[in-house]
Amino acid sequence: MENKNCQLNFSTNEIDLIDEMGPDEEIGTTIQTINEPRILSPLRQNFRHFVSDQDRVLFRASHASLQKRIREGKEPLSFELAGPRENIYFDPTKVRAAIVTCGGLCPGINNVIRAVVMALYHGYGVRSIIGIRYGFQGFIPKYGLPVMEMEPKIVERIHESGGTILASSRGPQPIDEIVDSLDRLNVSMLFLIGGDGTFRAGKKITDEVEKRGLKISIITVPKTIDNDIYLVSKTFGFDTAVEMACQSIRCAHTEAVGCPNGIGLVKVMGRHSGFIAAAATNALPEVNFCLIPESDFDLEGKKGLLKTLEARLRSRDHAVVVVAEGAGQKYVIGDTKEQDISGNIKLGDIGTYLRDTFRQYFEQIEMTSFVRYIDPSYIIRSVPANVEDSLYCANLGQNAVHAAMAGKTSMMVSLWNDKYVHVPIVSAIKRSKKVNLNSRFWHSVLECTGQSPLKN
């Protein structure tokens, strides 16, 4: 927790903050603890580099922002550094841990599960670890889902497979029944691996746990392939998703140059944030148009996408278009705004819409063209994590365990300014992260593609 009287040790590694941050005052940084940690950590036998709650990582690492807060007489905003504590709250011989995975699939979930189990078992000597099947449904008696006993021999090879060994589900479940189940199972720490909806449920679970006076640590690990969770530099699975998207884009480019006026069209994930599309575009010079939810575009008109695409074909004979699934929804979503089981508005299929629109447009102007459409979405989210994501997942899982054993709760493990930190759940759910159209990141996309704003 923050201590105004202590000497803070700051990490000032600079990162490119490519999302739009709100005012510092909106960001809470104080981490809840169940009670004072008084048990000496068993890691002391083989480990000496412990961290304390006074070790901090700056929220904004730029010199200008630091000077501004100093002029205002304010302490620089900072997050608590993650890592093993010398004193822990839970007795490893008596504690029971539970792991649950929620929402859609994402490369690296199994890696996080494995890291949590291995850190609990080998690091702290915890022997009672269970996995909850099919997300929050696994807590609800009416589904009749048994728990899975977790130990090293169960998880030692799961990182080689995509998906989640525990399976997952979407949609809300009664919070009181979830906490009832945690109480019946005698769970002392719960690891939630999920996205924004899971985090919101985690906050409600924490509130109900506190209301009942239970001693249960709730630790969340941010999971979303879209990379849109607030206050996380990058979510696990994102690098793998971009790598897989690039493979599809290369195929689309090959198809496009292989026929007269070929158009390679690739749809990637990104409901509200276009990070995958933008990052893949930055990685590959083959992309000519990158369409993301944050940047509106017109189809018709002199400066619209269709006329601009036509000009590209007349000058270069081929084009590659990458579109995030949430882009251009004004063209494909109905007035009813139907919701899915998680309460999200169902998206229209912008990929097939653009495919058909391109074909119709070039038929109308009597210009020969061929559209090759690729949608690799389910392939991308179902593959095993690549090496970089695997390492990232291991660190997230291990730091989640260190936080839980120290009795911390209602928090998310995050990567921020190249350091692993603790972020309160209530801060993480304040907003979603989006591509900043004024950032160097997006300007790089425009420089790579040479695309105009596509607005009349």
Please report, for the chain, the start and end positions of each structural domain, with discontinuous segments joined by +.
32-235+385-428, 238-383+438-449
Same fold flag, 32-235+385-428 and 238-383+438-449: yes
| Burial of 342 from C-beta contacts in 10 A (0-12 / 13-18 / 19+) | middle
pTM value? 0.91
- pLDDT of 5-25, one tens digit each? 334 444 333 334 434 455 555
What kind of architecture, by CATH, is found in domain 238-383+438-449?
3-Layer(aba) Sandwich (3.40)
Is 226 known to be catalytic?
yes
Q: Which of 269, 317, 320 is nearest to 292 (CA)?
A: 269
> For residues 113-145, b (16+ Cβ closer than 10 Å) or e, as one string?
bbbbbbbbbebbebebbbbbbbbbbbbbeeeeb
Give the per-residue pLDDT at 332: 93
From the candidates 226, 298, 375, 389, which is the catalytic residue? 226
CB 330 within 8 A of CB 365: no
Which class is domain 32-235+385-428? alpha beta
Alpha-helix residue ranges (DSSP H) falling in 156-294:
175-184, 196-212, 238-257, 275-283
pLDDT in tens, the chain (456 residues): 333 333 444 433 333 443 445 555 568 899 999 999 999 999 988 777 899 999 999 888 766 666 776 777 777 889 999 999 999 999 999 999 999 999 999 999 999 999 999 999 999 999 999 999 999 999 999 999 999 999 999 999 999 999 999 999 988 899 999 999 999 999 999 999 999 999 999 999 999 999 999 999 999 999 999 999 999 999 999 999 999 999 999 999 999 999 999 999 999 999 999 999 999 999 998 999 999 999 999 999 999 999 999 999 999 999 999 999 999 999 998 766 777 776 677 899 999 999 999 999 999 999 999 999 999 988 999 999 999 999 999 999 999 999 999 999 999 999 999 999 999 999 999 999 999 999 999 999 999 999 999 998
Q: Which residue shows structure tokens 């081929």?
A: 318
CA distances from 320 to 233, 263, 447 (A): 29, 6, 15
